[in-house]
Amino acid sequence: MPNESQTFTFDSLPQNVEELKTMPGADFSSPFATAALVIAALCRYETSPKDCIEMLDYLRQPKPMSVYEQQFLRDRLGGKAYVPRSYFAGTSPQNDYTPAMPYTVTISAGPYAFQNEGYATLNVTSSGADSPRQIQMRAKGGTIWYWWENFLLPDIRRPVSQDPWA
């Protein structure tokens, strides 16, 4: 799987954990699919932090997010709901990170993605950043891939509508 990329397309983004469970890839059989679902779930934070956290906990089982991790989400996504949207195709600072429909995201594995047994560190490109961001997945039993660590939320370029210097 090193140097592999997989693209995922969603007609809509999940609004709650029940909808997430019905989405393609929600069976945890692929680290790429689980990573794509994490990005889809993060987009819900803007309108319902509670639903977002429930979806992320589902994708992270058997270890739910700590209070600290939930506060981290609040700090990173408060007023910056465009950050997770920036991973979808068709987004840019110029269009306020509005994705093309259907939602499409590409997850890539670099040459060292699977160097640590039981873990996969995957890359995702943000249209507001100069280098890919990473997300780490962890295998349970060698075949079930859960979300483990999120490196997707550093600041990116502001949307033009929020940038007084644009």
Question: In this predicted model, what pLDDT tens digit does every residue of 16-69 receive, in sequence order?
Answer: 999 999 999 999 999 999 999 999 999 999 999 999 999 999 999 999 999 999
Cα–Cα distance measured from residue 162 to residue 98, given in angstroms and rounded to the nearest whole number: 14
- Read off the pTM: 0.95
Question: In this predicted model, what pLDDT tens digit does every residue of 67-105 receive, in sequence order?
Answer: 999 999 999 999 999 999 999 999 999 999 999 999 999
| pLDDT band, residue 166 (cuts 50/70/90) | confident
Q: Of the candidates 105, 104, 86, which has an alpha carbon nearest to the alpha carbon of residue 95?
A: 86
Average predicted confidence (pLDDT) for the chain: 95
Q: Of the candidates 90, 157, 159, 161, which has an alpha carbon nearest to the alpha carbon of residue 128?
A: 157
For residue 119, give every residue at least 6 positions away whose Cβ sits within 8 Å of its Cβ, in sequence order, or none. 136, 137, 138, 139, 148
Neighbours of 164 (CB within 10 A): 5
